[in-house]
Amino acid sequence: MRSHRPPFWVRTVPVAFGALCLVAVLALVEVLVATGTINPFIVPRPSDVLLSFTRIIAEERVLPRFMLTCGEALVASVMLSVVGIAAGVLLHRHRIVRLATETWVAALASAPLVLMYPLFLVIFGRSVWTIIMIAFVSALPPVILKTLEGLTGTRAALINVGRSFRLTPSQLYWKILFPAALPTIFVGVRLGMIYALINIVGVEFLINFGGLGQLVNELAERYDLPGTYAAICFVILVSVLFFIGTERIERWLRPGT
């Protein structure tokens, strides 16, 4: 017997409603800009932004820039998932390490590490590794903290089931604690990826090293507002793709939710 899938309308209506809301907001902005309620020198017409897509794709080499930003985000995400989850597990297993470092990790989460980009430039040079490492370090705290929260928040009843079946500590981790903590861990990974992408685009913007961040910078300096907003849409597209990707991975790793 196959698992129950929600009916077609349950799956499509929310998506259609979300798309409709977006179209409605864009139409409202279009009207407000056209009537002069919103200054067109600050916010361009959504229709102009739409028309500028083909232009920036053809003239500004968007695809390689998009791929570069995606690649940097992917490497940073893999690194922060591996290191962040491992660090979270370490903090969970060793109380003394947790007591010694948890506050510092939390403090690191609010530190504006992007401002330390000159230091990273000195260490890694003007390369993609500067961008990836800043993104990685800035995005690490939420993954560590959410992994710790997920593991410590596992319901006692589930742990007791494992104990009653005489699981080894390793089996308890892999068969119960880790799957139980996965939804919270993935919240951390998604948060981390948002932090990482913000930092990637920000540093690309600052050090003029390719990618969508540099494109946004160039278009803004040319005062090409529709092009700038279209380039920002591509940054949002990267975020959406990563969000969908992590959602798929989470559903694959932890079905039934």
Task: Examine residue 249 and tell whether it contacts another protein (CB under 8 A).
Answer: no
User: 182 or 235: whose CB is closer to another protein?
Assistant: 182
- Sole residue written with tokens 């992590």: 246
Q: Measured between alpha carbons, how far is residue 127 from residues 124, 131, 203, 217, 222 in Å?
A: 7, 7, 11, 18, 25
Report which residue type is found at 138: S
Choose the binding region for another protein from 2-10, 34-42, 64-72, 123-131 (rule: CB under 8 A): 2-10
Choose the binding region for another protein from 1-9, 30-38, 131-139, 233-241 (rule: CB under 8 A): 1-9
Q: What is the dihedral of CA 17, 19, 23, 24, to 10 degrees?
A: 20
C-alpha span between 45 and 128 (Å, rounded): 34
C-alpha span between 231 and 227 (Å, rounded): 6
Q: Tokens at residue 21, please?
A: 């809301």
Task: Examine residue 93 and tell whether it contacts another protein (CB under 8 A).
Answer: no
Choose the binding region for another protein from 22-30, 135-143, 172-180, 215-223 (rule: CB under 8 A): 172-180
211, 65 Cβ separation under 8 angstroms = yes
Task: Examine residue 2 and tell whether it contacts another protein (CB under 8 A).
Answer: yes
Choose the binding region for another protein from 17-25, 51-59, 89-97, 175-183 (rule: CB under 8 A): 175-183
- Alpha-carbon Rg for the chain, nearest whole angstrom, is 22
| Least gap, CB of 12 to another protein (angstroms) | 21
Binding residues for another protein, rule CB under 8 A, total 25
150, 158 Cβ separation under 8 angstroms = no
Cβ atoms within 10 Å of 174's Cβ, excluding its own:
12
Question: Can you tell me whether residue 231 is helix, strand or coil?
Answer: helix
User: 125 or 255: whose CB is closer to another protein?
Assistant: 255
User: 61 or 155: whose CB is closer to another protein?
Assistant: 155
C-alpha span between 10 and 222 (Å, rounded): 45
User: 1 or 122: whose CB is closer to another protein?
Assistant: 1
User: 98 or 254: whose CB is closer to another protein?
Assistant: 254
Task: Examine residue 170 and tell whether it contacts another protein (CB under 8 A).
Answer: no
Residues 149-168 as x/- pattern, contact with another protein by CB under 8 A: ------xxxx-xx-xxxxx-
- Sole residue written with tokens 């591996």: 82
Question: Can you tell me whether residue 224 is helix, strand or coil?
Answer: coil
Query: Greatest CA span in the chain, whole angstroms?
Result: 71
Residues 104-143 as x/- pattern, contact with another protein by CB under 8 A: ----------------------------------------
User: 44 or 188: whose CB is closer to another protein?
Assistant: 188
User: 183 or 245: whose CB is closer to another protein?
Assistant: 183
Q: By CB under 8 A, name the binding residues for another protein.
A: 1-4, 155-158, 160-161, 163-167, 171, 175-176, 179-180, 182, 254-257
